[in-house]
Amino acid sequence: MLFEDLGLSPALLRALSETGYTTPTPIQAQAIPPALNGEDILGAAQTGTGKTAAFGLPLLQKMAKMTPVKGPRKPRALVLVPTRELAVQVADSLKTYGRHLRLNVTMIFGGVGMQPQIENLRRGVDILVACPGRLIDHLDSGHVKLDAVELLVLDEADRMLDMGFLPSIKRVLSRVPQQRQKMLFSATFEPRIRALAMELLNKPTEVQVAAQNTIAETITHRVHPVDGPRKRDLLVEILSRRHTDQVLIFGKTKHGCNRLAEQLETAGLKSVAIHGNKSQAQRQKALDQFKSGKARILVATDVAARGLDIPNLPLVINHDLPMVAEDYVHRIGRTGRNGASGEALSLVAPEEGGLLRQIQRMLKADIVMQTVDGFEPSRPIRLDAPIPKNGGGQQRRQPMGGRPAQRPGEQKPGGQRAPRKAGARGHGKPADRGAHAHAHTGKPGGRPARSAQRLDSRA
């Protein structure tokens, strides 16, 4: 299958070839024709498999075909994203793919001044990429109208439809004419969110290139059991051994991420941090430093879990497990993108067994556990441990940044291969040479080891 076979215009084909894309990814091959045909799309594909172009190419083609009205243009396409960083990335991709089209792509998100955005909106917009909170500010103050929108995309749709964002999304949707084409894309769709998505769509074509909630087979992932207070030492040990690799580390809280980044600095490991309490300029700077390879270590809250495309990132470490199981898939999906191999490690304290259980349940697979010499936990991980008070389940998901849930857009920001149902792989490059194969499943009661190989072949 070639891009030429999908019905894309010569201007887009030229841009794709200049970008170095030769063949469409499976999600692109499946989503682009029905999207060009005007159908609503519900798209589920693993992280890093080219979803942006899957909605972006048909969107650009349709916008280019429409005759623009005279005078300042109102947005005719709206792409809603959960984080500011993702807004920047999606807008950049649309500009790249649409470089031979005369379309204006404008971004709207919080944490930066209103005035430049007002001026951009005044100048006229074809495609608006926005976080919901700031978009509502502009809608309320009359700086933008969405009555000309012909095409609406929700990227990371499951996040956009969960409790924190839903009120804002509903407000935005109430300003968009009904019966417009809609496309919803995400790597994960929890059943309740999926039902909600189906309500928004009109007889959608469902495009699913991987079983839902699965992890690309190119990602090796495992758990290192360790006592909570020793996590930082284990992290330093792993990072020192992997001294050339770029690493994205996820922490639970903004304060915790700051402290961890400081502690890593003290240990001589240069780190930058991203979370909702940093200014947008600081966040973008840290991300740019990391993306360009200038910073080796990025410590982040879940603001960095969604959609961010960091080229060739080899390793993701969960210093703390996410409170919501789906976020595990998104976090570790920052590595192993577009068919590359990647590795993800989770440092799990005995009391975090409940969180691990809910992740394994979602993946429908156990994750290989591997104790690291010198860091053996004082007691086994109990999968029947209670889930921490503020964790677990979609209902209890916390906003990704530091601001109230009503303004999600401002707080945070925000495979081509056959899928594996089991997210776990036992082989591949060891994270740390000192880790030995105490592979076991960590079932309640410390059931004996199931070998990594066996888990592999199960997949």
Residues that bind ligand AMP (CB under 6 A): 21, 24-25, 28, 48-53, 309, 337-338
Dist CA 9 CA 57 (whole Å): 9
Of 337 and 420, the one with the shorter C-beta distance to ligand AMP is 337
Of 24 and 423, the one with the shorter C-beta distance to ligand AMP is 24
CB of 90 to ligand AMP, least distance (A): 8
CB of 28 to ligand AMP, least distance (A): 6
CB of 430 to ligand AMP, least distance (A): 26
Of 39 and 309, the one with the shorter C-beta distance to ligand AMP is 309
CB of 139 to ligand AMP, least distance (A): 27
Dist CA 182 CA 299 (whole Å): 35
Of 319 and 420, the one with the shorter C-beta distance to ligand AMP is 420
> With b meaning 16 or more CB within 10 Å and e meaning fewer, what string describes 211-242?
ebbbbbbbbbbbbbbbbeebbbebbbbbbeeb
Of 52 and 181, the one with the shorter C-beta distance to ligand AMP is 52
CB of 91 to ligand AMP, least distance (A): 13
Within a 10 A sphere around the Cβ of 277, how many other Cβ atoms? 17
CA torsion through residues 12, 13, 18, 20, sign: positive
Q: For residue 353, give Cα distances in angstroms to 150, 228, 369.
A: 47, 12, 12
Beta bridge partners of 154: 80, 184
CB of 157 to ligand AMP, least distance (A): 14
Q: What is the DSSP letter of 40?
A: -
CB of 87 to ligand AMP, least distance (A): 13
Beta bridge partners of 222: 345, 368
CA torsion through residues 80, 130, 25, 368, sign: negative
Of 24 and 399, the one with the shorter C-beta distance to ligand AMP is 24
Q: Residue 406: which residues within 8 A CB-CB, separation 6 or more?
A: 133, 167, 168
